[in-house]
Structure 1
Amino acid sequence: MINGAFNIDYFILLCALLLISGVLTAKFSTRLGVPALVLFMIVGMLAGSDGLGFIYFDNAKYAQLVGILALVIILFEGGLQTKWSTVKSVTAPALSLATLGVIITTSVVAAAAKFILDVSWVEAFLFGAIVGSTDAAAVFAVLKGVNLRKRLGATLEAESGTNDPMAVFLTISFIQLLLTDQPNYLLLVGSFFWQMGIGLLLGLGLGKLATVAINRVNLDSSGLYPIFAMAFALLTYSLTALVGASGLLAVYVAALVIGNAELTYRHSIFRFNEGFAWMMQILMFVILGLLVFPAQLFQFDIIIKGLILSFILILVARPIAVFLSTIGLKFELKEKMFLSWAGLRGAVPIVLATFPMISGLQNSQLFFNVVFFVVLTSALVQGSTITFFAEKLKLTETKTELPIHSLELVSIGKANAEVIEVEINEETSIVNRSLAEIVFPKDVLVNAIIRKGSLITPYGETKVYAGDVLYILVSKQSKKQLKEMLEKPVLSETNVKKAVE
């Protein structure tokens, strides 16, 4: 047991075993039909003092630190992977669900918690705020295995990426109301607009700054670019939080800006952040599992109260929030039903449940145990049935086959050049032309063509067809010219007629 004398080698061994357990858990979670986050938490609970007794951990401050750091990285990775072209079409419903939806969910759950937990109204609203938001880590992980309609999937991802700030704001506000004798409600309203407004502006500004820095700073190794990008994510959160604004919102917005820009070493940055986000997700859920004591959690009183509140959250509060928040936003009935069911709770409520513990509130341990039970229920019941409901409601699309080719880009050192990937379609200016006919900008060389999964060695007479994937070596000075050339519309007969007219 790690308690008292601290053995570094023993600690490193435990970290290795926990990470290996987490990776294997993620591997088999799909086959078992259980979300990985549940199994991660179970690993933590088994390793804790009430389980096998390997680790004794009860420090809510450290758990909160790890949780927030992990959320920053997970939100950053989720934002990088999100296409703005998809998100902008669902901005209205996503923001409505992330703000009005959280408030409605908080209110309905609070009304139930007031009587079930036998607490004051302010404490009841605090509990409602803690479980009021869906969880980005849970939603991003589960949706990767479900080929949903694009608009529906984008709405869920955008909502989960942007509703954490509202839950954090409400949680902190209700804690302040409990700790303050004479609360200033106008100050709380002003604080809301400051947090959201400044968080949005700093996210946009720092995202653009990060994009410029990544593209213009010539680093010695391609492996430094992902670290550089991650550093900007941490910088965005910390600077925004230090001025009293929403750091989580700023990180997600910055990631959207960076992920949708022309980026050097894009593949390296994306793959690194995907792996790092998985590692932090494993670490976060294991730590949160360590923080809970099963002997306290699985008491008859906690189980009954947790089940009733879970039932109200999943089948009453979330559906009411979804149906009211999406009025007039052109969602079909079955889409609203699915949005209601897909409101997974995960790490965010558990991390937020540590706030009352750190503040020393009277019912903080009760809240933590009930919240943990609600999250477990939500993840097990909703997370394991999302695919089933999506298919039954016929909300899935034909799965797009991913290319079977793979190209590992290596560092070109200080050569001031990079290899970029270009997918050719019918509108690309060089389609149906041979390489010898194409006048490329200076310092541009087509290295390889992938056609229907096969590698084509390019020669002067090689023609470029729609569906081809070209890997092109280009100097950074010529990259902009190459992009402009490729984006010019092909001069088809239709386009020529339009031009003449």
Structure 2
Amino acid sequence: MTHLADSVIMLLAALLLIGVLSTKFSSRFGMPSLVLFIAAGMILSRFIYYDNVALTQLAGIFALVIILFEGGMQTSFKDIKPVIGPSLVLSTLGVLVTTGVVGLAATYILGVSWEEGLLFGAIVGSTDAAAVFSVLGGKNIDKRLTSTLEAESGSNDPMAVFLTVSLIEWIESPETGIWSLMLSFVWEMAVGLLVGLLVGRIAVYLINKINLDSTGLYPVMTVGFAVLTYGSAALLHSSGLLAVYVMGLVLGNSEIVYHRTIMNFNHGFAWMMQIFMFILLGLLVFPQELTHIAFQGLLLSVILMIAARPVAVFLSLLFFKFTGAEKTLIAWAGLRGAVPIVLATYPLLSNLENGRLFFNVVFFVVLTSAVIQGTTISPLAARLKLTSGRTEAPTLMELVALGRTDAEFNHVSIQPDMPIAGMRISEMQLSDEILFTAIIRDDKIVTPHGYTVIEPGDVLYVLSPKSKREEMKALFRVPESG
């Protein structure tokens, strides 16, 4: 038994290290890392027999909770605010149109009933947050487009989950009424949104009020809140995934202590969950079964990429100000990933007649989407002249509570439109309790004096008591335009 445990631990260590190192390869070619993780699982499946669908689904849902939470925290509300409208239409109408077009094609190509064809369409109807975030992260694609894609990928999973579960229920119980399904959809989305907002506000308040003995406990606390958000929403029969994404948005766009520490922890934890999730999903696939559906899978993948997704995007964005080139890139960047594969386990657990067929075809569709679309997004953006020379702005403010003391240590990136930009420190009439301790300028440390001018681009370190937090923040608050 001890030997078996040691062997499993060594295997997990090898998988983690291979997964981390493979991200370097994937980023170089623009391919989502999920391809390499899944490949590792498929290779292992030749030596390890694994067919626990229930465990895989549980692990997949937990991983999606962490991934969506981390994606929400990374998303700037200021960036997505101008594109909330098109993103929501893409995540609702877009998923419906994709489901319809792919479902119709699947009915004839796979030789299944039209209800089952629609079920297949719903499973592959949503783009994947993990794949989109990993491919677009660090790329110089126009910010408006990346914000639209990221907001869509974070918010369209609940729609796909709802359609998948509803269609399975419909197949199993044909007497299910359409009106009850529509009311259920409204309830799931509305309550999920409210739960995410409520728990997010509670989390912000408690994180800033509680002085924990170890800084490492704050990231653990946020993960606990993320899981609590999903569980609370699920118990209320609402969308847990939507609630988690909204909760992450609230937390990521609020001023909380140890913001950067929490972000870094969640980023690493999300990567670890991706590695284990995709390896488990790869283990669940039997490669010899893929050869029998390769043609059908490739045909459906092509229809999804060059017909269903473009039709969905162009219809959804018909009344929004996007150019033809921008719509083309959004259509091509609709990557499929973890969500469709996790949703493909639902028919398996429901013991539907074509459950295994759907899982294998979905798997094939996801792999081809990741390989073909993932590696060509950046070249296509450059060809369409939709790239920019922007660089990611650093975190504006980082609040760090100093243990049990009443003090906070902050570092602030100075922006040109901040009130103190261009001012001498002596001109600011600072409280005696607010102390500028250091300035980082052009990779050099500048010691602050009364005659020192604060320049745009500086990173300013400030020590102040918690009671002076609002006064300190007022120094850096950017005036609202208009």
Is TM > 0.5 for Structure 1 vs Structure 2? yes
Shift of 1:439: 2.5
Q: Which residue of structure 2 aligns with residue 271 of structure 1?
A: 264
Code of the residue aligned with 1:179 in structure 2: it is: E
Shift of 1:33: 4.7
Aligned with 1:101 (options 71, 94, 100)? 94
Q: Which residue of structure 1 aligns with residue 424 of structure 2?
A: 434
TM norm structure 1: 0.92
TM norm structure 2: 0.95
What is the alpha-carbon distance in structure 1 between the residues aligned to residue 385 and residue 41 of structure 2? 37
Code of the residue aligned with 1:370 in structure 2: it is: V
What is the alpha-carbon distance in structure 2 between the residues aligned to residue 216 and residue 402 of structure 1? 28
Aligned with 1:42 (options 39, 44, 49)? 39
What is the alpha-carbon distance in structure 2 between the residues aligned to residue 352 and residue 210 of structure 1? 29
1:18-29 matched pairs, under 5 angstroms: 18-29=15-26
For these two proteins, the number of residue pairs brought into alignment is 481
Shift of 1:423: 2.0
1:227-376 matched pairs, under 5 angstroms: 227-297=220-290, 299=291, 301-376=292-367
Aligned with 2:167 (options 174, 190, 195)? 174
Q: Would you say 1:460 and 2:450 are equivalent positions?
A: yes
What is the alpha-carbon distance in structure 1 between the residues aligned to residue 447 and residue 423 of structure 2? 16
Q: Which residue of structure 2 aligns with residue 87 of structure 1?
A: 80
What is the alpha-carbon distance in structure 2 between the residues aligned to residue 191 and residue 83 of structure 1? 30
What is the alpha-carbon distance in structure 2 between the residues aligned to residue 269 and residue 287 of structure 1? 27
1:199-238 matched pairs, under 5 angstroms: 199-238=192-231
State the secondary structure of the residue aligned to 1:397. Answer: coil
Note closer, same or farther for the CA distance 1:307–1:72 as it changes in structure 2 (3 Å cut). Answer: same
Q: Which residue of structure 1 aligns with residue 110 of structure 2?
A: 117
What is the alpha-carbon distance in structure 2 between the residues aligned to residue 254 and residue 394 of structure 1? 35
CA deviations on 1:470-496 (whole Å, 9 max, x unpaired) are 011222221122112332769xxxx9x
Q: 5+ residue gaps in structure 1?
A: none
Shift of 1:151: 1.1
What is the alpha-carbon distance in structure 1 between the residues aligned to residue 44 and residue 437 of structure 2? 51
How much is the aligned-residue C-alpha RMSD, in angstroms? 2.2
Shift of 1:343: 0.5
Q: 5+ residue gaps in structure 2?
A: none
Note closer, same or farther for the CA distance 1:484–1:402 as it changes in structure 2 (3 Å cut). Answer: closer
Code of the residue aligned with 1:45 in structure 2: it is: M
Shift of 1:433: 2.9
Code of the residue aligned with 2:419 in structure 1: it is: S
Q: Which residue of structure 1 aligns with residue 154 of structure 2?
A: 161
Q: Which residue of structure 1 aligns with residue 57 of structure 2?
A: 64
Shift of 1:181: 4.4
Q: Would you say 1:473 and 2:470 are equivalent positions?
A: no
Note closer, same or farther for the CA distance 1:484–1:24 as it changes in structure 2 (3 Å cut). Answer: same
Note closer, same or farther for the CA distance 1:109–1:467 as it changes in structure 2 (3 Å cut). Answer: same
Q: Which residue of structure 2 aligns with residue 11 of structure 1?
A: 8
Note closer, same or farther for the CA distance 1:488–1:101 as it changes in structure 2 (3 Å cut). Answer: closer
**Equivalent residues of 1:221, 1:411 under 8 A apart:** no
Code of the residue aligned with 2:166 in structure 1: it is: S
Code of the residue aligned with 2:125 in structure 1: it is: G
Deviates more, 1:281-290 or 1:371-380: 281-290
Code of the residue aligned with 1:479 in structure 2: it is: R
**Equivalent residues of 1:22, 1:40 under 8 A apart:** yes
Shift of 1:172: 0.1
CA deviations on 1:258-294 (whole Å, 9 max, x unpaired) are 1111111111111111111111111111111111111
What is the alpha-carbon distance in structure 2 between the residues aligned to residue 127 and residue 147 of structure 1? 34
**Equivalent residues of 1:218, 1:416 under 8 A apart:** no
